[in-house]
Amino acid sequence: MDSRAQASTICSCHSTAIADINCDAQTSTQCTRMSSCGAAGCLQPQPASGEDVDLGYEHEQPDEQPDEQQRQQQSDEHHNCPALKPPPFLDSRLDSTDTVAADSAVKAGSGVNLGLRSHSAAHPLDPLTPTEIAVAIASVRAEGDTPEVRDGMRFVEVVLNEPGKNVVALADSHFFPPYQPMLFRSKASKATATISSLQQQQQQQLPPRQARLVVYNKKTNKTSIWLVELSNQVLNAPSAAHRHHAKILSSVVVPDVQPPMDADEYAECEATVKGHGPFVEAMKKRGIDDMELVMVDPWCVGYYGEEDAPSRRLARPLVFCKTPGACPLENGYARPVEGIHVLVDMQQMKVIEFEDRYLVPLPPPDPLRNYTAAALRGGVDRTDIKPLLISQPEGPSFRVNGYAVEWQKWNFRVGFTPREGLVIHTVAYNDGIHGRRSIAHRLSFVEMVVPYGDPKDPHYRKNAFDIGEDGLGKNCHSLKRGCDCLGYIKYFDAHFTNFHGEVETVKNCVCMHEEDHGIMWKHQDWRTGFEEVRRSRRLTVSFFCTVANYEYGFYWHFYQDGSMEAEVKLTGILSLGALKADEHRRHGTLIAPGLYAPVHQHFFVARLDMAVDSQLGEGLNQVVEVNMTTEESGPHNPHNNAFYAKETILRSELEAQRDCNSRTNRHWLVRNTRKLNRTGQPTGYKLMPDSNCLPLAGSDAKFLRRATFLSHNLWVTQYNRDECFPGGEFPNQNPRVGEGLATWVKQDRRLEETDIVLWYVFGVTHVPRLEDWPVMPVEHIGFRLKPDGFFDCSPAIDIPPSKLEVVEDTHHKEQVSVKGVTQPDTLIATLISKL
């Protein structure tokens, strides 16, 4: 077997690395200290600074561990819970280690005994803890034959090797709240219906968790993939030495690939270029003697020919120069340096090609270049903004247990990976007597491509694969209350490995909060004047990241009407070029004298592992394309006004390569072929595109070799756990044409009544404006997932009416009428939605 193919057989790219709330013995003290401050150890959401909110309670910790009798009582209570009446979802104000149903009965190295759970037991989808990451790294490093091999190891990523869907179903059915045995159907339960639920539980075990490591060896320029078993025996070993000996399940060297670049490499590359003699001389020719003003942004080289082959680890930096001044955040991107060609060997960390090809004068300092507050940039800030306070006096409507979230009948799990960033797991809706109904198994953004439209050097090489070449999660922000997020906020931290194998934490990486979203529905009877109106709110889970000059915010919104929305917010600083005097380029926009911004596009790929009304792993879904069609003139359309929704089943993968069509309002339904609604139609969810585009580059453009998946807006595949990234796992310097989606669909697997995955490609074409400078106002793009026949009527019909409260307003002396009642002139009616 080819070693790359062999590597794929151990590849489960669905991986997570957020802060562990179920702290192990080594970190429990730290988590206790964090528990009241809104960090990862605190399950109680915290208000943003300056907001009018009263917490009303404090985080609680148990004074002592329960004795054996109490543990037995807890265990009995757990086993006696009726299967169809699960215990209430655990309160968000308590740490998950405080609310475990029973003590552990752990068999060394063999997993957790079903029915008895450990205080430190993690859900199979819980992100790796810092201890798990450290143990995995130490175990792999210990496998090095020589000190040189061990010293050469660089750890690109360490993530959870996500288990099969049957393991997740087993965990959710018997191990973790809300305990719903109907989620898991084992062969034993089908064959032996008389076996009691408890006996079935005792026959099953959760397997030990696994870590998946991508390791780059700087000495040999080789990339390998490792799987490490994280047994409780090793994790709970009394000494650090014993934690270095976790079981290595597999190790495969993957040839002809380069893994993503790392921030440590970028910093080292910048220092290398700035210390290169010919480069220093070239900058002096441009009037720059102070290397502290110079910014070097390493960019991956892509693949344009054999010179870019992955036998070398390469980068082609872009160069910028700050303007000397007093501003602490001087915008160096305002002065791009043109004409200098640099190629860096990132393995040897040395400049292997350098040429000062032509001289373009540095653009003159632009007085509008900086974006700090007025006092620092020499401008004037507006003064007419009054405070806007977010008040939730009764606290939030969501509840959190570890990484499990419950809100307004929604429930799902939060995950995070260094590559994808935010991941949403096991999305379901509690639909009254119908119980917990599944919608999706896993939702995430799996690739980005940003191609530029200027054919001149160096811009034609600017084709960033920001997820596959860099990683969104690794570049995430530590979010700030009152700035990035407003309201009652629950934060999650993120734990990663750096390039040298040290565990690092990004605090407050993921933000979750509720937002008012205007009117949900309204109607007034014109005869009687009677009116009913309901306000909408949504739950938002998000994170932000910076990749060089651009910022991206990724949001998942959940609505009370059963719909979901994926949104990307684009902001940051334009990637600019310098112009000679009187030079004009039609492939961009003139921003300032000597400064222009090339046209470009941003493409995102969302991987939607759907499970509409399905038990995990069931293959009962199909995809239907819907196009609005005009009825032909004739007896069935005598007035020429008729049109209808025409449905077409996408029966195989080759049929399911589709593009958006706004003329026909094209959208796609994911239906369950066995579940029917009250009108006898299959239940489903529809993918509704927003504005979209396709690549404007010619079909022979070099970057499209690695991005064949951009040729269509929608791809549908039969689920395969090893098919995770549309351009393959290693797009950096990838010489293979069409790796990933374009290759997988050649199997033309059937898509009728199976476990399906949607790959939705959406993008925006950016023609820069003067108003995008110096920092671009947010651009919004995304898509929606909406119920279509999934419910028997509107699920938002049960939202209670909003309550009107009168609060004092000391700043306005005016009368406000509320339902015909005139309030005193010192009072104003404030509408507060209480759910």
Q: Which residues are catalytic?
A: 466, 550
> What are the two backbone dihedrals, phi and then psi, of residue 406, each rounded to the nearest 5 degrees?
-130, 130
Separation CA 809–CA 137 (nearest Å): 58
Tokens at 555, concatenated: 């949001």
Q: How far apart are CA 56 and CA 34, in angstroms?
A: 18
How far apart CA 14 and CA 157 sit, in angstroms, is 12
CB–CB of 244/319 below 8 Å? no
Q: Give the Cα separation of 154 and 156 in Å (integer).
A: 6
Say whether the peptide bond before residue 178 is cis (omega within 30 degrees of 0): yes
- Beta strand ranges found along 418-563 (DSSP E): 421-430, 436-451, 463-464, 488-497, 503-524, 531-547, 550-559
Q: Tell me how far apart the alpha carbons of residues 568 and 97 are, in angstroms, rounded to a whole number.
A: 34
Per-residue tokens: 190: 């089908």
Place of tokens 């380069």: 258
User: 442: Cβ–Cβ under 8 A, 6 or more apart, which residues?
Assistant: 14, 423, 424, 425, 426, 607, 609
The SS3 call for residue 377 is helix
What are the DSSP E strand ranges found in 194-244? 205-206, 209-217, 222-230
Residue 709 one-letter amino acid: F
Of the chain, the end-to-end C-alpha distance in Å amounts to 58
The secondary structure of residue 385, as a DSSP letter, is P
Q: Which of 206, 231, 226 is nearest to 216 (CA)?
A: 226
Q: Which residue in 558, 556, 557, 554 sits closest to 568, CA to CA?
A: 554
Taking the C-alpha atoms of residue 783 and residue 457, their distance in angstroms, rounded to an integer, is 35
DSSP-based three-state secondary structure for 652: strand
Structure-token pair, residue 303: 């693949």
Tokens 């790359």 appear where?
4
DSSP β-ladder status, 817-818 and 756-766? unpaired
Query: What is the gyration radius of the CA atoms in the chain, in angstroms?
Result: 28
Among all chains, which residue has been given the structure tokens 């561990």?
A: 65
CA distance 166 to 186: 9
- Residues contacting residue 300 through CB under 8 Å, at least 6 positions apart: 261, 314, 315, 316, 464, 465, 469, 470, 732, 733
> Under DSSP, is residue 798 helix (H, G, I), strand (E, B) or coil?
coil
Measured CA angle at 12 (ends 10, 16), to 5 deg: 140
